[in-house]
Structure 1
Amino acid sequence: MTRLLTLLKQNRSLILFVSLMLVFRSAVADWNSVPTGSMKPTIVEGDRLLVNKMAYDLRIPFTHISIAKLADPQRGDIVIFDSMASDKKLVKRVIGLPSDIISMRDNVLSINGKTLQYSDASSQKKDASEIRVENLLGLNHQVKLAGISGQGIITRQSSFGPITVPADHYLVLGDNRDHSADSRMIGFVPRAEIVGRSQTVVFSANYENYYLPRQERFLHPL
């Protein structure tokens, strides 16, 4: 016991630093690794995202207990949440806000009766997918689609609804629309599960090239 106390005294600066760092990562900001392609083309496998954990709430460190609400997630936000339904941390884009009526037909979204607009298709990929720009009621972002409006491949995930987003919940989708386990599988996301928002890639490791960093994605905005 005496030896332990001596070690603690000798290393108290290091212990304090580590403790403060853990508190910072728990309640203020952290990074999140992305192991899958469910958010392609916006986020790719190997990206490390900077997560702002104070974007929506001030929380007690190491808990989901909010002591002050700072803001609500907005449509188009890329959020990180601890999903109880899938038992893992996920990264998706907010599509539906509380009370929104959402539907999808052949990969074309409608929000509150307004059908979203999509740009012309890019050159088709080897896997028959297409990259398009989705106008999310004023926010343009890219999505990867297996098919849209009768073109290409239509999957079982390409149509749903209309459904109404309940209070204190959000409908989230991956940008890689036909290869994402999102609200179409796990249901609406409770606000309490959302731990932060990401707007920046800190750095990215290329899994297909010996985990070397992708220089073009250093501090890449989302």
Structure 2
Amino acid sequence: MKTWVRANKGFLLFLALFGVFRTAVADWNPIPSASMHPNLLEGDVVFVNRLAYNVKVPLTDIVIGHTGEPQRGDIVTFSSPANGTRLIKRVIALPGDRVEMRDEQLIINGQPAGYSAIGHGTEAIEGVGELAAVRVDETLGASSHAIQFLPQVKARRNFAPLVVPAGEYMMLGDNRDNSADSRYIGLVPRALLIGRAERVLASADIQGNWMPRTERFGMSLYQK
């Protein structure tokens, strides 16, 4: 064993440094579920900037320092406060914001979000089949992004006003009626943020023929 280690110490050092890089600087995140439809699809692999908000001790959630502030509309990866699972959602409300939802409409600091129709689609729900999806642009102040609703699905479409405490964030999935987000798992402390998702690195149709979706390669996750 010692002989093998000596013979391969360069490769082992590379693996160690690569591991530190992935846990401290940049990472990629496969998309396993439909919770961010229509913007992220199952089979997308997104680039995550781990230095967007915090510098952490590698392999831990210990924050050494802050590098930036999460903004409303950012797509972020984080560890679920409920069970530690890595999730990817959108920042909807910041510390100090007063936020509520009435019949799917968000109201932040007294200002209702704006919605404009952009089309329809379909959503395959396991055990149910294909359902019609309504897609709209949601505008929250300076942030605008596509989301979708599934009117036939039972979901949490209302919640009472709450003020987001210091150091915490509200996260929602873009697929509003098919997302386990802050409505279910609670607000997300800053220390659990992993990084900001920037763009799709690669994509494949993992629910179909596994062919690459080359039109999504390098695609930015933010509207210009």
Normalised by the size of structure 1, how large is the TM-score? 0.92
Give the C-alpha shift of residue 8 in structure 1: 1.5
Tell which deviates more after alignment, 26-35 or 210-219. 210-219
Aligned to 2:144: 140
Aligned to 2:135: 131
Q: How does 1:142-161 map to 2 (within 5 A)?
A: 142-147=146-151, 153=152, 155-161=154-160
Aligned to 1:150: none
Provide the rounded CA distance (Å) in 2 between the counterparts of 1:154 and 1:198.
Answer: 28
Provide the rounded CA distance (Å) in 2 between the counterparts of 1:121 and 1:74.
Answer: 24
The number of equivalent residue pairs is: 214
Aligned to 2:200: 201
* SS in structure 1 at match of 2:55: strand
Flag the structure with larger Rg.
1
List structure 1 segments (4+ residues) > 6 angstroms apart after TM superposition.
Answer: none
Give the C-alpha shift of residue 73 in structure 1: 1.0
Identity of aligned residues (%): 44
* SS in structure 1 at match of 2:204: strand
CA contact (8 A) 1:106 1:154 kept: no
Structure 2 residue identity aligned to 1:161: A
* SS in structure 2 at match of 1:212: coil
Structure 1 residue identity aligned to 2:202: F
Give the C-alpha shift of residue 159 in structure 1: 1.0
Structure 2 residue identity aligned to 1:212: M
Give the C-alpha shift of residue 121 in structure 1: 5.0
The C-alpha deviation readout for 1:142-194, integer Å capped at 9, x for no partner, is: 000124xxxxx474411112111111100010000000000000010111100
* SS in structure 1 at match of 2:101: strand
Provide the rounded CA distance (Å) in 2 between the counterparts of 1:36 and 1:178.
Answer: 13
CA RMSD of aligned residues (A): 1.5
Q: How does 1:166-181 map to 2 (within 5 A)?
A: 166-181=165-180
Provide the rounded CA distance (Å) in 2 between the counterparts of 1:89 and 1:124.
Answer: 27
CA contact (8 A) 1:206 1:214 kept: yes
Structure 1 residue runs without a partner (length 5+): 148-152
